[in-house]
A and B are shown apart, each in its own frame.
Chain A
């Protein structure tokens, strides 16, 4: 079949840059982790924990996560629609504007220009840049879908579209602020209202950036890697609508026991538990697609990443609803348990899927065979061990900490002072840092493998190579 003239050029650029930002995110993660065990590593005013931590989180979510979203969406939309990208020029602009936005974010955060709202720290001029970026991206994807040459829209396209509108709505509402100067603004909402709006944003950033897009990738790259179709397209559709509908109710599970009205908290709790169903809809769909294909877990490193990724997603979406229950929240909220939850999601689920997607893409967009499959397997074990070390140490730490915070003497007084509980965290924070280092080495191996593939990889089969040059 004569293949369409897909635009891979831009996909290559997005892959390269997102990988770079991924490296930065993980590196800064390791730095802040060591700052927590040794405060002498703070170098004021710029390099203190308070300023670096938001750089870590934003580089992780927006530089790495969204960077890979840009790369994979632009690739998937062309293949699934059997048509070239609507506007390559616009995509080029998007690439450079994306990098400018990430750099501007990092610089302003270092300078201390921040709104303090988690995952939305950047001040209003950068909000404006993000909005431009997203509109340009959404327009390109949607126009490509509209002029598609394949009538049926595969489920990945659905998740992509949902994420496009979802992010737009969330970001705009939560960005509402009154500027004082170029680098300072005050939120349009106050106190409890601000908290409620913000965590509606915060949790759905998880939904629209760290759930729907990786699901779109998973639904695409799993069948592509195994060569067998997804188990049930219709199941994925039911899961899609339920997920989309339910996620938006759950923001207040970050605000249990706070002054936010009780009924909002209760709704958030209920919907969080119900979310298990659509989340597991996708997990089960993934597992059942492996029917008769489980041997590929041994033979095909891509499948290994993807299935481990969806497994972490499955665990994440059981643990999350648990944390959303009032009694459990009373115990673990504010403790180190929560970062363990977060990193199973980001280092396990999101990053595993991103690594797999990039491993799948690189040979195809560069027309070269992967430099080394053993290295890809080595990376798999490094990041798996790194992440498990990270999360397990902090789950234990979190439970311990929660236990000590709530421990009471028979006479009704507290058993431990705050510092007595805090010093107990140090060993676990050390272990976490070491887990982070192992993960970091994994990422370095990944990048080495990619660079060697691009530089010295064998030219792949003529067909793939031809596609690569197209």
Chain B
């Protein structure tokens, strides 16, 4: 039979290939991206954001960054609420990625202020000394092309206004990329829901530490805070810190939960213990040797 008939063999092989294909790839179109998946608050990309997305694709950021948070405890703690199908209905193509050389970016939107991104993209090592992410400062030198962006928006069928397109002319590729990153994962209001309410009495377990102990905690500040608050608390993207003027518990709440709407990220992921160490460092370090 098919052992001697190549055409028959080809047809049978095709049939064998098609069974699994139809069941796992064609049929799902009936269930995925349908009304049942829809999330009211998820909106299409604006012209600027979509262009930023295309730059993300062009530069191959997806070779180091994923964009899906899985419903696993450690992952939700690290990155934020897990990803839902309805959040991706405007993503053509999908950018979930397969390798986390850098952190997941699915919930990046609103995590940092714009200024942080400009600084980080221009020179990741200025913010995070040991990162291997390439420098992308050169993107700022490239102006956007509104005609091309209009064509893209038309193909995608996303809404835009002519004012919006007009304003693109004096924006550059970095502006677009940052706008895209600020949109990522922020269409659902997960950030406020995720803020942990701290129950019980807060008490700083390290309140009586001496100066040499404080110095041991300096790396914590350097790695997590310095990029925004400066080497000597003088401020940069974030305000100048005057730890001495604040209560321990107040500091703890701000650092643990952040101030999401104003660009201060939450550091609950460090764990309460390390947050107390940072609190102690910020509060007492400048109070001199005699503490």
Contacts and interface: CB of A to CB of B under 8 A. Distances in A.
Interface in A359-382: none
Contacts of B89: 190-191
A334 B78 contact: no
Interface in B1-52: 3-4, 6-7, 9-10, 13-14, 16-21, 23-25, 28-29, 31-33, 37
B99 A338 contact: yes
Interface string B69-98: 011111101100001110111111111111
Contacts of B66: 334
A191 B64 contact: no
B223 A44 contact: no
Contacts of B59: 48, 50-51, 112
B6 A415 contact: no
A169 B223 CA distance: 50
Interface stretch (A60-68, A85-93, A144-152, A459-467): A144-152
B271 A411 contact: yes
Interface stretch (A4-12, A253-261, A343-351, A437-445): A253-261
Contacts of A39: 124-125, 131-135
Kindly state the interface size class of chain A when it binds its partner. 35 or more
Contact of A50 (B14, B63, B128): B63
A311 B10 CA distance: 29
B135 A251 contact: no
B132 A36 contact: yes
Contacts of A20: none
Contacts of B151: 180-181
B271 A190 contact: no
B209 to A, nearest CB: 20
A268 B25 CA distance: 11
Contacts of B71: 257
B224 interface: yes
Given A142-B10, A152-B3, A195-B96, A415 B271 contact: yes
A264 interface: yes
A189 B73 CA distance: 30
Interface in A187-213: 187-198, 200
Contact of A116 (B62, B88, B128, B152): B62
B261 interface: no
A158 interface: yes
A215 to B, nearest CB: 14
Contacts of A413: 77, 268-273
Contact of B60 (A50, A258, A422, A426): A50
B132 A116 contact: no
A162 B28 CA distance: 25
B156 interface: yes
Interface in B233-287: 268-273
A173 B85 CA distance: 22
A246 B13 CA distance: 12
A434 interface: no
B213 interface: no
Interface in B90-143: 90-104, 124-125, 128, 130-136, 138
Given A36-B132, A44-B136, A338 B60 contact: no
Interface centre among B4, B98, B148, by most chain A C-beta atoms within 10 angstroms, is B98
Contact of A114 (B17, B58, B77, B83): B58
Interface in A324-346: 330, 333-335, 338-339
A192 B92 CA distance: 10
A435 B81 CA distance: 39
A419 B24 contact: no
Given A42-B135, A193-B28, A248-B17, A186 B271 contact: no
Contacts of A25: none
Nearest to B99: A334
Contacts of B96: 195, 255, 258
B20 A161 contact: no
Given A191-B90, A200-B21, A261-B31, A417 B224 contact: yes
Contacts of A339: 99
Contacts of B7: 146
A189 B29 CA distance: 10
Contacts of B9: 153, 158, 161
B155 interface: yes
Contacts of A448: none
A291 interface: no
A411 B273 contact: yes
Contacts of B133: 39
Given A112-B59, A184-B54, A422-B130, A417 B223 contact: yes
Contacts of B138: 44-45
Interface of B: 3-4, 6-7, 9-10, 13-14, 16-21, 23-25, 28-29, 31-33, 37, 54, 57-64, 66, 68, 70-75, 77-78, 83-85, 87-104, 124-125, 128, 130-136, 138, 148, 151-152, 155-156, 223-224, 268-273
* Top-9 shortest CB links A-B: A50-B60, A191-B88, A413-B271, A248-B20, A259-B85, A257-B70, A42-B134, A249-B20, A112-B58
Interface of A: 35-39, 42, 44-45, 48-51, 53-54, 112-118, 142, 145-146, 151-153, 157-158, 161-162, 164-166, 169, 173, 178, 180-181, 184, 186-198, 200, 241, 244-252, 254-255, 257-261, 264, 267-268, 271, 330, 333-335, 338-339, 405-409, 411-415, 417-419, 422-423, 426
